Amino acid sequence: MTLSKNNVLKSLKFGDVVEVNFSKRDFHGEFIRFDDERKLVVIKLKSGYDIAIAEKDISKISIIQKALSVNKKTVAVKGALPIPNPDLSIITTGGTISSKIDYKTGGVSPSVPPEYYLQIAPGLKNYGNIEINSLMSIFSEDMKPDDWVKIAKAAYDAIKKGSKGVIVTTGTDTMHFASAAISFMLNPLSVPIVFTGAQRSTDRGSSDASTNLLLSAITASKWAGAESVVCMHATLNDDYNFIIRGNRVRKMHSERRDAFRPVNSTPLAKVYLDGKIENISDHFDRGKETVLNTRIDSKAKLLVGYPGMTGDAIKDSIKRGAHGLVIAGTGFGNLPLKEKSVYEALGYAHKEGVPIVITSQTIYGATNRFVYSTLRELSGFDNIIYVENMLTETAFVKLMFAMGQTEKMGEIRNIMCTPLAGEINDKDNFGEFLI
């Protein structure tokens, strides 16, 4: 029986494959939504692009294939049908990988249901019983330290239930903050925690979401390592992804697919769509008992040294309640100490017992307080801590972790200067520059 246009429109479900005729042309694609306010039918074409067609202009519409049904025995959204022993757990937090175009604003919003992952990456079903935990739905720039704690606890719960690997989907802007935080809060790990995302929303033809999800699933289930890592495109194409240590990675471009690069290190491995994993450097192995430690003090501030800097920013941050500061200095970690107020502000921090962690804003390379005589003047301040080649973002997160463990300056210094999860290298290898 042939259904009328109105009956077809009423019966459409997200992901149904449809054929639409309007303006004497046929269009094939997936049904996305019906804009009730403007009476528009939105479908995703095979090219990957979306088209909105006014209902009144459609002469005929028919369903070619119903949307992919999710097997509730092997895939479950937490809260609806928990899986007692998942093989793979996916924790969703929002971001571009969980987003699509909002046709009311024209912008992207994190509004994709977690089940959609199985539609854009149906190969996920090949990795056993999958539990999807929709933990939150926010852009990563809105993520706070308390959200990192929630991720750590959710991942820990998944591991305790038997997951052989955990995928965390998140926005890319602050993904490297989150992956670094988890490297300290879950240490050691028995299985990998794989952070991934997308530089292009899922409804764009050029979206990298599907590839990143599949390669993250391969990493989570098959890689021999057990670390907090980032799995994102290594090139502009879908050739392979890098597996990068979560506290040695940085987003180096605002929109390129291959934006995430290792810093002061090499990738841990390459992972390919055929399931091949090519190890590149040493990693922490699976098998150890996972330990959860979410004690953090989030009252840390991040400052950047600059020409003409005064001590006001340092003093004001402390007076406003900062318990610790990270300052990204120039070069080896230099600060304009000829500016009297900067030196006085550092002395004020020392008096108040506030740790000052110094990193280098050059991104690559390490700090060194002994190269220039000006930095040697700070040797009397035991609260000033140089952290060698640790990334600024990682130092910011680690300082929160260190202050959560103790209030004693000597112990904070020891934690900051001791590599806990591979965040500090003994020495730089020039071959690690701009990989």
β-bridge partners, 174: none
State which amino acid sits at residue 287: G
What is the pairing mode between strands 241-245 and 130-134?
A: unpaired
> And the tokens for 99?
């987003």
DSSP assignment letter at 141 = G
Indicate the average pLDDT of the chain. Answer: 89
Indicate which residue of 87, 142, 157, 173 is catalytic. 173
Confidence class for position 80, pLDDT limits 50, 70, 90: very low
Kindly report, as residue ranges, where domains of CATH 3.40.50.40 are found in the chain. 300-417
Quick check: helix, strand or coil at residue 206?
coil
- Between CA 368 and CA 71 the distance in angstroms is 56
pLDDT of 46 over the 50 cut = yes
Whole-number percent of the chain with pLDDT over 70 = 89
Cβ(416)–Cβ(388) below 8 Å: no
Cβ(182)–Cβ(148) below 8 Å: yes
β-bridge partners, 241: 233, 271
> Is 173 a catalytic site residue?
yes
pLDDT value, residue 110? 65
pLDDT value, residue 74? 46
pLDDT value, residue 1? 41
Mean pLDDT of the 244-260 span: 96
Quick check: helix, strand or coil at residue 166?
strand
> And the tokens for 384?
């000033």
Question: Which candidate, 263, 270, 271, 223, places its Cα nearest to that of 246?
Answer: 263
> And the tokens for 128?
């056993």
Indicate which residue of 93, 172, 196, 211 is catalytic. 172
Kindly report, as residue ranges, where domains of CATH 3.40.50.1170 are found in the chain. 75-279
pLDDT of 339 over the 90 cut = yes
Helix boundaries (H) for 45-137: 116-120
Confidence class for position 107, pLDDT limits 50, 70, 90: low
pLDDT value, residue 71? 47
**pLDDT tens-digit series, residues 166-217:** 999 999 999 999 999 999 999 999 999 999 999 987 766 668 888 999 999 9
| CATH domain 75-279 topology | Rossmann fold (3.40.50)
> Is 222 a catalytic site residue?
no
Among 112-116, 184-188, 402-406, the least confident range: 112-116
Torsion over CA of 410, 151, 293 and 297, rounded to 10 degrees? 30
> Is 100 a catalytic site residue?
no
State which amino acid sits at residue 107: G
- Between CA 32 and CA 13 the distance in angstroms is 8
- Pick the more confident residue, 74 or 177: 177
pLDDT value, residue 284? 97
Question: Which candidate, 182, 190, 135, places its Cα nearest to that of 159?
Answer: 190
Among 204-218, 232-246, 363-377, the least confident range: 363-377
pLDDT of 43 over the 90 cut = no
Mean pLDDT of the 336-344 span: 94
**pLDDT tens-digit series, residues 255-271:** 999 999 999 999 999 99
> Is 330 a catalytic site residue?
no
Kindly report, as residue ranges, where domains of CATH 2.30.30.520 are found in the chain. 5-65
pLDDT of 13 over the 70 cut = yes
| CATH domain 300-417 topology | Rossmann fold (3.40.50)
Provide the strand spans (E) within 293-355: 300-304, 324-329
Indicate which residue of 96, 196, 294, 367 is catalytic. 96
β-bridge partners, 65: 17
Whole-number percent of the chain with pLDDT over 90 = 63
Helix boundaries (H) for 14-99: none
pLDDT value, residue 205? 61
Tell me the CATH number for domain 5-65: 2.30.30.520
Mean pLDDT of the 49-76 span: 72
Indicate which residue of 44, 100, 164, 251 is catalytic. 251
Residue that the structure tokens 């369903």 belong to: 63
Confidence class for position 105, pLDDT limits 50, 70, 90: low
Helix boundaries (H) for 1-133: 5-11, 116-120
pTM of the model: 0.83
- Pick the more confident residue, 343 or 107: 343
